[in-house]
Protein backbone atom coordinates (compact mmCIF):
# COMPACT_ATOMS: atom_id res chain seq x y z
CA UNK A 1 0.00 0.00 0.00
CA UNK A 2 2.86 2.55 0.48
CA UNK A 3 3.06 3.19 -3.30
CA UNK A 4 -0.63 2.83 -4.09
CA UNK A 5 -2.79 5.63 -5.38
CA UNK A 6 -5.48 6.53 -2.86
CA UNK A 7 -9.18 7.15 -2.81
CA UNK A 8 -9.90 8.86 0.49
CA UNK A 9 -13.02 9.17 2.63
CA UNK A 10 -12.86 11.52 5.63
CA UNK A 11 -15.90 11.46 7.91
CA UNK A 12 -16.68 13.11 11.25
CA UNK A 13 -16.00 16.33 13.08
CA UNK A 14 -12.29 16.28 12.19
CA UNK A 15 -12.90 15.38 8.54
CA UNK A 16 -11.69 18.66 7.03
CA UNK A 17 -8.44 18.82 8.99
CA UNK A 18 -7.75 15.13 8.34
CA UNK A 19 -8.31 15.69 4.62
CA UNK A 20 -5.88 18.62 4.62
CA UNK A 21 -3.25 16.54 6.39
CA UNK A 22 -3.49 13.56 4.04
CA UNK A 23 -3.44 15.87 1.02
CA UNK A 24 -0.26 17.47 2.34
CA UNK A 25 1.38 14.10 3.05
CA UNK A 26 0.30 12.19 -0.05
CA UNK A 27 -0.16 14.91 -2.66
CA UNK A 28 -0.85 13.61 -6.15
CA UNK A 29 -1.35 10.05 -4.91
CA UNK A 30 -4.84 11.14 -3.83
CA UNK A 31 -6.94 10.33 -6.88
CA UNK A 32 -10.27 11.18 -5.28
CA UNK A 33 -11.39 12.41 -1.88
CA UNK A 34 -14.63 12.92 0.02
CA UNK A 35 -15.05 15.10 3.13
CA UNK A 36 -18.13 14.33 5.23
CA UNK A 37 -18.21 16.71 8.17
CA UNK A 38 -18.35 20.41 9.03
CA UNK A 39 -17.98 22.36 5.80
CA UNK A 40 -14.29 23.25 5.28
CA UNK A 41 -13.31 26.80 4.37
CA UNK A 42 -11.11 25.43 1.60
CA UNK A 43 -10.91 21.94 0.12
CA UNK A 44 -7.64 20.26 -0.86
CA UNK A 45 -7.32 19.37 -4.55
CA UNK A 46 -9.29 16.26 -5.60
CA UNK A 47 -11.63 16.48 -2.59
CA UNK A 48 -15.36 17.18 -2.57
CA UNK A 49 -17.43 18.05 0.50
CA UNK A 50 -20.87 16.89 1.60
CA UNK A 51 -21.60 18.19 5.13
CA UNK A 52 -23.68 15.65 7.05
CA UNK A 53 -26.05 16.14 9.98
CA UNK A 54 -25.43 15.45 13.66
CA UNK A 55 -26.51 13.98 16.11
CA UNK A 56 -29.26 12.56 13.90
CA UNK A 57 -28.79 11.91 10.16
CA UNK A 58 -30.12 14.29 7.52
CA UNK A 59 -30.76 14.05 3.80
CA UNK A 60 -27.20 15.31 3.31
CA UNK A 61 -25.96 12.48 5.54
CA UNK A 62 -27.60 9.99 3.19
CA UNK A 63 -26.12 11.70 0.10
CA UNK A 64 -22.71 11.57 1.74
CA UNK A 65 -23.08 7.91 2.64
CA UNK A 66 -24.16 6.90 -0.85
CA UNK A 67 -21.27 8.88 -2.33
CA UNK A 68 -18.85 7.09 0.02
CA UNK A 69 -20.11 3.72 -1.22
CA UNK A 70 -19.51 4.83 -4.81
CA UNK A 71 -15.96 5.94 -3.96
CA UNK A 72 -15.21 2.58 -2.34
CA UNK A 73 -16.68 0.60 -5.25
CA UNK A 74 -14.67 2.60 -7.80
CA UNK A 75 -11.25 1.51 -6.53
CA UNK A 76 -9.17 -0.25 -9.17
CA UNK A 77 -6.19 -2.59 -9.05
CA UNK A 78 -3.14 -0.72 -7.78
CA UNK A 79 -5.26 1.65 -5.67
CA UNK A 80 -6.29 1.56 -2.05
CA UNK A 81 -9.10 2.96 0.08
CA UNK A 82 -8.03 5.23 2.94
CA UNK A 83 -10.74 6.03 5.48
CA UNK A 84 -10.19 8.72 8.14
CA UNK A 85 -12.83 8.68 10.88
CA UNK A 86 -13.62 10.91 13.84
CA UNK A 87 -16.49 11.55 16.23
CA UNK A 88 -19.88 12.24 14.66
CA UNK A 89 -19.31 10.12 11.56
CA UNK A 90 -22.15 7.70 12.40
CA UNK A 91 -24.76 10.43 11.92
CA UNK A 92 -22.94 12.38 9.22
CA UNK A 93 -22.53 9.40 6.85
CA UNK A 94 -25.70 7.31 6.69
CA UNK A 95 -27.26 4.91 4.21
CA UNK A 96 -30.50 3.24 5.36
CA UNK A 97 -30.68 -0.50 4.78
CA UNK A 98 -33.28 -1.91 2.38
CA UNK A 99 -36.78 -1.36 3.75
CA UNK A 100 -35.65 1.38 6.15
CA UNK A 101 -36.25 5.08 5.47
CA UNK A 102 -34.09 7.95 6.61
CA UNK A 103 -36.95 9.06 8.86
CA UNK A 104 -36.99 5.59 10.45
CA UNK A 105 -33.29 6.00 11.22
CA UNK A 106 -33.82 9.49 12.62
CA UNK A 107 -36.65 8.42 14.91
CA UNK A 108 -34.69 5.40 16.10
CA UNK A 109 -31.58 7.46 16.84
CA UNK A 110 -33.54 10.15 18.67
CA UNK A 111 -35.44 7.59 20.74
CA UNK A 112 -32.28 5.79 21.79
CA UNK A 113 -30.50 9.05 22.66
CA UNK A 114 -33.42 10.33 24.74
CA UNK A 115 -33.66 6.98 26.53
CA UNK A 116 -30.03 7.25 27.62
CA UNK A 117 -28.47 4.59 25.38
CA UNK A 118 -24.67 4.62 25.42
CA UNK A 119 -22.65 4.70 22.21
CA UNK A 120 -22.07 0.93 22.13
CA UNK A 121 -25.80 0.23 22.35
CA UNK A 122 -26.69 2.99 19.89
CA UNK A 123 -24.19 1.81 17.30
CA UNK A 124 -25.24 -1.84 17.63
CA UNK A 125 -28.64 -0.80 16.32
CA UNK A 126 -27.25 1.62 13.75
CA UNK A 127 -25.10 -1.10 12.19
CA UNK A 128 -28.08 -3.39 11.66
CA UNK A 129 -30.29 -0.83 9.93
CA UNK A 130 -27.52 0.49 7.67
CA UNK A 131 -26.01 -0.36 4.30
CA UNK A 132 -22.66 1.31 5.11
CA UNK A 133 -21.93 0.70 8.81
CA UNK A 134 -20.77 -2.53 10.42
CA UNK A 135 -18.18 -3.32 7.74
CA UNK A 136 -20.38 -2.78 4.71
CA UNK A 137 -18.28 0.12 3.35
CA UNK A 138 -15.13 -2.02 3.35
CA UNK A 139 -17.02 -4.91 1.75
CA UNK A 140 -17.57 -2.74 -1.35
CA UNK A 141 -14.01 -3.36 -2.59
CA UNK A 142 -11.54 -6.28 -2.48
CA UNK A 143 -8.53 -3.96 -2.66
CA UNK A 144 -6.53 -2.77 0.39
CA UNK A 145 -8.41 -0.65 2.94
CA UNK A 146 -6.71 1.28 5.71
CA UNK A 147 -8.64 3.15 8.39
CA UNK A 148 -7.25 5.72 10.84
CA UNK A 149 -9.67 6.70 13.59
CA UNK A 150 -9.79 9.41 16.24
CA UNK A 151 -11.77 7.72 18.99
CA UNK A 152 -14.66 9.32 20.85
CA UNK A 153 -15.58 5.90 22.29
CA UNK A 154 -14.61 4.66 25.74
CA UNK A 155 -12.44 1.61 25.16
CA UNK A 156 -11.43 2.69 21.63
CA UNK A 157 -13.20 -0.26 19.96
CA UNK A 158 -12.74 0.36 16.22
CA UNK A 159 -15.93 -1.56 15.48
CA UNK A 160 -17.88 1.01 17.51
CA UNK A 161 -16.13 4.21 16.37
CA UNK A 162 -18.38 5.69 13.64
CA UNK A 163 -20.29 2.37 13.77
CA UNK A 164 -17.33 0.61 12.18
CA UNK A 165 -17.93 1.10 8.43
CA UNK A 166 -14.66 -0.68 7.59
CA UNK A 167 -14.48 -3.09 10.54
CA UNK A 168 -15.95 -6.54 11.08
CA UNK A 169 -18.94 -6.50 13.42
CA UNK A 170 -19.26 -9.00 16.26
CA UNK A 171 -22.76 -7.82 17.24
CA UNK A 172 -25.92 -9.41 15.85
CA UNK A 173 -29.51 -8.63 14.92
CA UNK A 174 -30.49 -10.30 18.17
CA UNK A 175 -28.20 -7.93 20.08
CA UNK A 176 -29.82 -4.96 18.32
CA UNK A 177 -33.30 -6.16 19.28
CA UNK A 178 -32.09 -6.49 22.85
CA UNK A 179 -31.03 -2.84 22.82
CA UNK A 180 -34.52 -1.75 21.76
CA UNK A 181 -36.01 -3.86 24.54
CA UNK A 182 -33.73 -2.25 27.13
CA UNK A 183 -34.38 1.31 25.98
CA UNK A 184 -38.14 1.67 25.81
CA UNK A 185 -39.27 -1.63 24.27
CA UNK A 186 -39.74 -2.51 20.61
CA UNK A 187 -43.15 -0.83 20.42
CA UNK A 188 -41.43 2.55 20.90
CA UNK A 189 -39.54 2.21 17.60
CA UNK A 190 -40.57 2.44 13.93
CA UNK A 191 -42.23 -0.73 12.68
CA UNK A 192 -39.86 -1.14 9.67
CA UNK A 193 -36.85 -1.08 12.01
CA UNK A 194 -38.33 -3.73 14.27
CA UNK A 195 -39.39 -5.84 11.28
CA UNK A 196 -35.87 -5.75 9.82
CA UNK A 197 -34.21 -6.70 13.10
CA UNK A 198 -36.64 -9.57 13.61
CA UNK A 199 -36.09 -10.78 10.04
CA UNK A 200 -32.36 -10.72 10.65
CA UNK A 201 -32.78 -12.54 13.94
CA UNK A 202 -34.48 -15.45 12.19
CA UNK A 203 -31.90 -15.52 9.39
CA UNK A 204 -33.97 -14.03 6.59
CA UNK A 205 -31.49 -11.13 6.15
CA UNK A 206 -27.73 -11.45 5.92
CA UNK A 207 -25.77 -10.43 9.00
CA UNK A 208 -23.14 -7.70 8.98
CA UNK A 209 -19.64 -8.92 8.00
CA UNK A 210 -18.19 -10.81 10.95
CA UNK A 211 -14.59 -11.34 12.14
CA UNK A 212 -12.68 -13.59 9.69
CA UNK A 213 -15.08 -12.66 6.86
CA UNK A 214 -12.89 -13.01 3.72
CA UNK A 215 -14.38 -9.81 2.28
CA UNK A 216 -12.55 -7.84 4.97
CA UNK A 217 -9.28 -9.81 4.84
CA UNK A 218 -7.28 -6.83 3.56
CA UNK A 219 -8.87 -4.20 5.82
CA UNK A 220 -6.71 -2.73 8.61
CA UNK A 221 -7.85 -0.21 11.25
CA UNK A 222 -5.79 1.84 13.72
CA UNK A 223 -6.75 4.30 16.46
CA UNK A 224 -4.59 7.43 16.24
CA UNK A 225 -6.19 9.58 18.96
CA UNK A 226 -8.34 9.01 22.05
CA UNK A 227 -9.57 10.43 25.36
CA UNK A 228 -6.11 9.92 26.82
CA UNK A 229 -4.75 12.55 24.43
CA UNK A 230 -7.31 15.04 25.73
CA UNK A 231 -6.33 14.19 29.30
CA UNK A 232 -2.64 14.60 28.49
CA UNK A 233 -3.27 18.14 27.25
CA UNK A 234 -5.20 19.07 30.39
CA UNK A 235 -2.54 17.53 32.62
CA UNK A 236 0.27 19.42 30.91
CA UNK A 237 -1.60 22.72 31.30
CA UNK A 238 -2.38 22.05 34.98
CA UNK A 239 1.25 21.20 35.73
CA UNK A 240 2.39 24.37 33.96
CA UNK A 241 0.09 26.34 36.27
CA UNK A 242 1.58 24.81 39.39
CA UNK A 243 -1.03 22.18 40.29
CA UNK A 244 -0.32 18.79 41.78
CA UNK A 245 -2.03 16.56 39.22
CA UNK A 246 -3.84 13.27 39.71
CA UNK A 247 -4.72 11.39 36.51
CA UNK A 248 -7.83 9.21 36.76
CA UNK A 249 -7.55 6.31 34.34
CA UNK A 250 -10.99 4.78 34.95
CA UNK A 251 -13.48 6.19 32.43
CA UNK A 252 -16.41 8.28 33.68
CA UNK A 253 -19.54 6.57 32.36
CA UNK A 254 -23.19 6.00 33.27
CA UNK A 255 -26.13 8.35 33.78
CA UNK A 256 -24.71 11.87 34.06
CA UNK A 257 -26.45 13.02 37.22
CA UNK A 258 -25.69 9.81 39.15
CA UNK A 259 -22.15 9.47 37.83
CA UNK A 260 -21.38 13.07 38.78
CA UNK A 261 -22.14 12.68 42.49
CA UNK A 262 -20.34 9.35 42.73
CA UNK A 263 -17.34 10.70 40.83
CA UNK A 264 -17.04 13.79 43.02
CA UNK A 265 -17.12 11.72 46.20
CA UNK A 266 -14.44 9.43 44.84
CA UNK A 267 -12.29 12.39 43.83
CA UNK A 268 -12.50 13.94 47.30
CA UNK A 269 -11.06 10.69 48.63
CA UNK A 270 -8.40 10.52 45.89
CA UNK A 271 -7.28 14.07 46.64
CA UNK A 272 -6.72 13.39 50.34
CA UNK A 273 -3.05 13.61 51.19
CA UNK A 274 -2.12 15.23 47.87
CA UNK A 275 -0.41 18.63 48.06
CA UNK A 276 -2.47 21.73 47.33
CA UNK A 277 -3.55 23.05 44.96
CA UNK A 278 -4.55 19.77 43.33
CA UNK A 279 -6.09 19.07 39.92
CA UNK A 280 -7.79 15.77 39.13
CA UNK A 281 -8.25 14.99 35.45
CA UNK A 282 -10.63 12.33 34.11
CA UNK A 283 -12.50 11.57 30.92
CA UNK A 284 -15.21 9.38 29.45
CA UNK A 285 -18.76 9.72 28.18
CA UNK A 286 -21.93 9.73 30.24
CA UNK A 287 -25.54 9.53 29.09
CA UNK A 288 -28.73 11.45 29.84
CA UNK A 289 -32.21 10.00 30.15
CA UNK A 290 -34.38 12.85 28.89
CA UNK A 291 -37.65 13.17 30.80
CA UNK A 292 -37.94 16.97 30.99
CA UNK A 293 -38.44 19.72 28.44
CA UNK A 294 -35.38 21.91 29.00
CA UNK A 295 -32.08 22.33 27.16
CA UNK A 296 -28.69 21.00 28.05
CA UNK A 297 -26.30 18.15 27.49
CA UNK A 298 -24.59 15.43 29.45
CA UNK A 299 -21.71 17.67 30.53
CA UNK A 300 -23.98 20.47 31.74
CA UNK A 301 -26.11 17.94 33.60
CA UNK A 302 -22.96 16.40 35.11
CA UNK A 303 -21.85 19.81 36.42
CA UNK A 304 -25.30 20.73 37.74
CA UNK A 305 -25.61 17.47 39.67
CA UNK A 306 -22.31 18.30 41.40
CA UNK A 307 -23.38 21.77 42.59
CA UNK A 308 -25.02 20.70 45.86
CA UNK A 309 -22.23 18.28 46.89
CA UNK A 310 -19.58 20.89 46.06
CA UNK A 311 -21.26 23.35 48.44
CA UNK A 312 -21.00 20.89 51.32
CA UNK A 313 -17.38 19.75 50.91
CA UNK A 314 -16.11 22.41 53.31
CA UNK A 315 -13.17 23.52 51.18
CA UNK A 316 -12.90 25.63 48.01
CA UNK A 317 -13.46 23.35 45.04
CA UNK A 318 -14.54 23.53 41.42
CA UNK A 319 -15.55 21.03 38.74
CA UNK A 320 -15.74 21.44 34.98
CA UNK A 321 -17.13 18.94 32.49
CA UNK A 322 -16.92 19.61 28.76
CA UNK A 323 -17.12 17.86 25.42
CA UNK A 324 -13.81 18.02 23.58
CA UNK A 325 -15.74 18.78 20.38
CA UNK A 326 -17.01 22.03 21.90
CA UNK A 327 -20.62 20.86 21.60
CA UNK A 328 -22.73 19.49 24.44
CA UNK A 329 -26.15 18.25 23.39
CA UNK A 330 -28.29 20.58 21.25
CA UNK A 331 -26.65 23.73 22.66
CA UNK A 332 -23.88 26.20 21.84
CA UNK A 333 -21.93 25.24 24.97
CA UNK A 334 -19.22 22.61 25.40
CA UNK A 335 -20.29 22.07 29.01
CA UNK A 336 -20.30 23.96 32.28
CA UNK A 337 -18.50 24.40 35.56
CA UNK A 338 -19.74 24.39 39.14
CA UNK A 339 -17.91 25.30 42.32
CA UNK A 340 -18.45 25.56 46.06
CA UNK A 341 -20.22 28.91 45.57
CA UNK A 342 -22.62 27.85 42.79
CA UNK A 343 -25.62 27.21 45.03
CA UNK A 344 -25.16 30.46 46.97
CA UNK A 345 -24.75 32.46 43.75
CA UNK A 346 -27.84 30.80 42.28
CA UNK A 347 -29.93 31.84 45.26
CA UNK A 348 -28.63 35.40 45.00
CA UNK A 349 -29.65 35.35 41.33
CA UNK A 350 -33.16 34.27 42.29
CA UNK A 351 -32.78 30.63 41.28
CA UNK A 352 -34.38 29.15 44.36
CA UNK A 353 -34.43 25.50 43.40
CA UNK A 354 -31.54 24.21 41.21
CA UNK A 355 -32.96 20.68 41.54
CA UNK A 356 -35.92 21.79 39.44
CA UNK A 357 -33.60 22.60 36.56
CA UNK A 358 -31.98 19.18 36.87
CA UNK A 359 -35.35 17.41 36.90
CA UNK A 360 -36.37 19.30 33.74
CA UNK A 361 -33.07 18.53 31.94
CA UNK A 362 -32.61 22.30 31.83
CA UNK A 363 -28.99 22.72 32.93
CA UNK A 364 -28.28 25.18 30.12
CA UNK A 365 -30.70 27.79 31.52
CA UNK A 366 -29.30 27.35 35.03
CA UNK A 367 -25.67 27.91 34.03
CA UNK A 368 -26.50 30.63 31.50
CA UNK A 369 -28.09 32.66 34.32
CA UNK A 370 -24.83 32.40 36.28
CA UNK A 371 -22.45 32.91 33.38
CA UNK A 372 -20.93 29.48 34.06
CA UNK A 373 -21.33 27.83 30.66
CA UNK A 374 -18.15 26.72 28.88
CA UNK A 375 -18.39 28.10 25.35
CA UNK A 376 -15.42 27.34 23.11
CA UNK A 377 -17.17 26.93 19.79
CA UNK A 378 -16.70 23.75 17.71
CA UNK A 379 -13.16 22.35 17.94
CA UNK A 380 -13.56 20.15 14.83
CA UNK A 381 -12.48 17.00 16.64
CA UNK A 382 -13.79 14.77 19.42
CA UNK A 383 -12.06 12.49 21.93
CA UNK A 384 -14.97 12.25 24.36
CA UNK A 385 -15.68 14.33 27.45
CA UNK A 386 -13.16 15.81 29.86
CA UNK A 387 -13.68 16.43 33.59
CA UNK A 388 -11.37 18.62 35.68
CA UNK A 389 -11.75 19.02 39.46
CA UNK A 390 -9.73 21.55 41.46
CA UNK A 391 -9.20 21.70 45.23
CA UNK A 392 -7.50 24.89 46.29
Asked whether residue 352 carries a pLDDT value surpassing 60, the answer given is: yes
The answer on 197 and 103 residing in a single domain is: yes
Average pLDDT over residues 53-80: 95
Q: How confident is the model at residue 361 (pLDDT cuts 50, 70, 90)?
A: very high
Q: Please state which of the ranges 138-142, 196-200, 352-356 shows the lowest mean pLDDT.
A: 352-356
pLDDT per residue over 362-375, tens digit each? 999 999 999 999 99
- Domain end residue (candidates: 199, 225, 251): 225
Average pLDDT over residues 131-137: 98
The answer on 280 and 208 residing in a single domain is: no
How many domains are contained in the chain? 2
Q: How confident is the model at residue 42 (pLDDT cuts 50, 70, 90)?
A: confident
Question: What CATH code is carried by the domain that includes residue 309?
Answer: 3.40.1480.10
Distance CA 72, CA 27 (A): 19
Q: What percent of the chain has pLDDT over 90?
A: 94
pLDDT per residue over 309-320, tens digit each? 999 998 999 999
Asked whether residue 39 carries a pLDDT value surpassing 90, the answer given is: no
The answer on 340 and 245 residing in a single domain is: yes
- Domain end residue (candidates: 225, 245, 274): 225
Average pLDDT over residues 166-171: 97
Asked whether residue 107 carries a pLDDT value surpassing 80, the answer given is: yes
The answer on 262 and 119 residing in a single domain is: no
Q: How confident is the model at residue 356 (pLDDT cuts 50, 70, 90)?
A: very high
Asked whether residue 304 carries a pLDDT value surpassing 60, the answer given is: yes
Is the alpha carbon torsion for 122, 123, 127, 130 positive or negative?
positive
pLDDT averaged over every residue in the chain = 95
The answer on 287 and 249 residing in a single domain is: yes
pLDDT computed for residue 2 by the predictor: 58
Distance CA 226, CA 43 (A): 26
Q: How confident is the model at residue 31 (pLDDT cuts 50, 70, 90)?
A: very high
> What is the 3-class SS of 298-312, one letter each residue?
HHHHHHHHHHHHHHC
- Domain end residue (candidates: 170, 200, 225): 225
The answer on 269 and 138 residing in a single domain is: no
Predicted model pTM: 0.92
- Contacts of residue 35, Cβ cutoff 8 Å, sequence gap at least 6: 10, 15, 16, 19, 43, 47, 48, 49, 50
pLDDT per residue over 379-389, tens digit each? 999 999 999 99
Q: Which residues pair with 23 in a beta bridge?
A: none
The answer on 275 and 133 residing in a single domain is: no
The answer on 287 and 212 residing in a single domain is: no
CB 248 within 8 A of CB 258: no
The answer on 236 and 93 residing in a single domain is: no
The answer on 208 and 129 residing in a single domain is: yes
The answer on 310 and 194 residing in a single domain is: no
Average pLDDT over residues 152-180: 97
pLDDT computed for residue 89 by the predictor: 95
Which residue range is the domain that position 316 belongs to?
227-391
- Contacts of residue 181, Cβ cutoff 8 Å, sequence gap at least 6: none
Q: How confident is the model at residue 1 (pLDDT cuts 50, 70, 90)?
A: low
Cis peptide, bond prior to residue 277, ω within 30 of zero = yes
The answer on 95 and 176 residing in a single domain is: yes
pLDDT computed for residue 262 by the predictor: 97
Q: Write the DSSP string, 17-72.
A: HHHHHHHHHHGGGEEEEEEESSPPSSPPTTEEE-PPPSSS--HHHHHHHHHHHHHH
pLDDT computed for residue 38 by the predictor: 85
Asked whether residue 145 carries a pLDDT value surpassing 60, the answer given is: yes
Q: How confident is the model at residue 353 (pLDDT cuts 50, 70, 90)?
A: confident
Asked whether residue 207 carries a pLDDT value surpassing 70, the answer given is: yes
Q: What percent of the chain has pLDDT over 70?
A: 99
Is the alpha carbon torsion for 347, 349, 351, 354 positive or negative?
negative
pLDDT per residue over 211-241, tens digit each? 999 999 999 999 999 999 999 999 999 999 9
Amino acid sequence: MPDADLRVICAGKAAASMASTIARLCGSRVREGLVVGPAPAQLPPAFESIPGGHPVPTEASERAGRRALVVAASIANGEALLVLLSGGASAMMAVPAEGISLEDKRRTTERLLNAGADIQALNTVRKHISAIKGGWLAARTPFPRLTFAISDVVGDDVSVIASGPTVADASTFEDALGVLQRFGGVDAYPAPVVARLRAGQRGAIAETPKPHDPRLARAVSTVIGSRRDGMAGAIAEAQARGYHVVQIDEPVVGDARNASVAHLRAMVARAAGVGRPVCLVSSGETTVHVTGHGRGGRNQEFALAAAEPLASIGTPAAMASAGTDGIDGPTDAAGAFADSTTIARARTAGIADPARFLADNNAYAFFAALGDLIQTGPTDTNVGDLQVILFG
